[in-house]
A and B are shown apart, each in its own frame.
Chain A
Amino acid sequence: MGFLNFFKKTEASGLTRLPSGSFTVDASGRVLTSTLPSGFPASYTQEIAVQVLSSFKQAREAQLPLSELVVNYASLRLTARELRGGAIIFLAPQTFKRS
């Protein structure tokens, strides 16, 4: 059955893994520090920062000032804490919990 090994292709090089780590941004959305893997596209980091800061800003405008925001996706948890106009943002991939 050696020919069945033909089915195998084991590396996932073309896929972007979800990152685990954190980064900080200032009030203008500039990334200051990051522990995210270098392979994670900077454009994604920037996009996350923009959405988080915008959500904090809009909440303030609605007289609902927030200090923490947790967005639970099906396969990633994004936790953002407000830092003097900027934010520290944690990313943690979620996998299925096994009982």
Chain B
Amino acid sequence: MADRPKILLLDDEDDLLDMYKEVFSQLPSRPEIQTSNSGARAISLLESETFSLLISDLNMPKMDGLQVLSIVRRKFPLLRLVILTAVVDEQYRSRAYAMGVDLFWQKPATAQEIKLFSECIESLLDQGNAGGFRGVQSKSLIDIIQLECLSQSSSVLKLTNGGREGRIWVLNGEIIDAATEALKGEEAFKEVSSWRNGSFETFPAEPERVRTIFTNYQSLLLESVQTLDEAQEQKNDPAVAASNKIDKLRQFGGLDFVLAVPLSGKASAESWGLENHEAVAAWARSSIGSFQKLGSALKIGDIETILASGSQAHVGLVQIEDSALCAGFKRAVSLEKVRDNLKAMSIKWAS
């Protein structure tokens, strides 16, 4: 029975814990269930044993569900998290998802809701917690696309990688179109296929979708694999990689400067268009660090962007993995445009 998934239930009401335990023990995967009536106890249990899933209440005394979430998300990034709460409030739902929960569920009130909730939990347990794309574990995105094409499927793959979202349309085993925030067609496919992890969902085919990609899938996948290999090689020399990436970002209109700041390690910042790049890098590093810390304290999720306007330039700052990307634009460029450009730049940077 070594493969039985383990669920940790956290709620401050012992009677509810008993009832949940009863409900979840009936799941087809026969999970092993442990309970905790306090956040502190739950965290110590998580530290001593490996769990597949944490189901937590939100409203609890001493340490509330959001506090538990913020600790657990950092300490156990692979643990799947579910919030089960009676608190009906859009704000808490948004915050919980912003902090990376897999599911936010209002406490079931009918037998039908309990059944649906149990099915969702079973589905989450099925998915396991290996790397790769959630949904088909241990498979890269290239593998997933190849499987779709080889099986002559027709479907729409919706892929999510952090805050980014992309779609790939497959019709009768051929890739016919792709789209991600700023890109379309083959460009979008190249971009999306470079994502190394994330989650994906399959939607029914859209046969009426206009075809924009005419290259066959083998060539597209081969090219993607080569690009990924090259990117891997570049990683061995971060300074060269950063410099090459900055060159690619210079095409954005109204750009005054670009600065790439490593947030960890000893690598120095790379820039274009800046004379005092170390001072700006210090501002970028400190702002990302301190506002990220503030976000953790307030339990409001990660920073998406920092936008600033000054007498000389509009500035956008975004964290991409363990780097910060800072871009300055001429004042004539609106802040809204700065935000859009920053989003497109971060996609290009991450690819």
Q: Which A residues have a C-beta under 8 Å from some C-beta of B?
A: 1, 4-18, 44, 47-48, 51, 54-55, 58-59, 61-76, 78, 93-96
Closest to B275 in A: A63
Given A4-B109, A12-B58, CB of A55 within 8 Å of CB of B310: no
A62 to B58, CA, bound (A): 43
A contact residues around B97 at 8 Å (CB): 74, 96
Q: A51-B294, A93-B94, A95-B90 are in contact. List 5 more A-B contacts (CB 8 A).
A: A8-B109, A61-B283, A62-B283, A66-B315, A76-B298
- In the complex, whether B232 has a CB less than 8 A from a CB of chain A is no
* Bound: A12/B111 CA distance, A: 24
* Inter-chain contacts of B95 with A (CB < 8 A): 18, 74-75
Cβ-neighbour of A68 out of B107, B287, B302, B309 (below 8 A): B309
Q: How far is the CA of A6 from the CA of B65 in the complex (A)?
A: 20
Q: Which residues of B contact A14 (CB under 8 A)?
A: 59-61, 64
Q: Which residues of B contact A (CB under 8 A)?
A: 13, 15-16, 19, 58-61, 64-66, 86-95, 97-99, 107-111, 114, 276, 279-280, 282-283, 286-287, 290-291, 293-295, 297-298, 300-313, 315, 328, 335
Which residues of B have CB within 8 Å of A72? 303-307
**Are A73 and B58 CB-contacts (below 8 A) given A7-B107, A64-B313, A67-B311?**
no
Contact A4 B108 (CB under 8 A): yes
Contact between chains at B59 and A18 (CB < 8 Å): no
Contact A69 B15 (CB under 8 A): no
List of A residues within 8 angstroms of B305 by Cβ: 70, 72
The smallest C-beta distance from B343 to any residue of chain A, in angstroms, reads 11
Complex CA–CA separation, A73 to B335 (angstroms)? 17
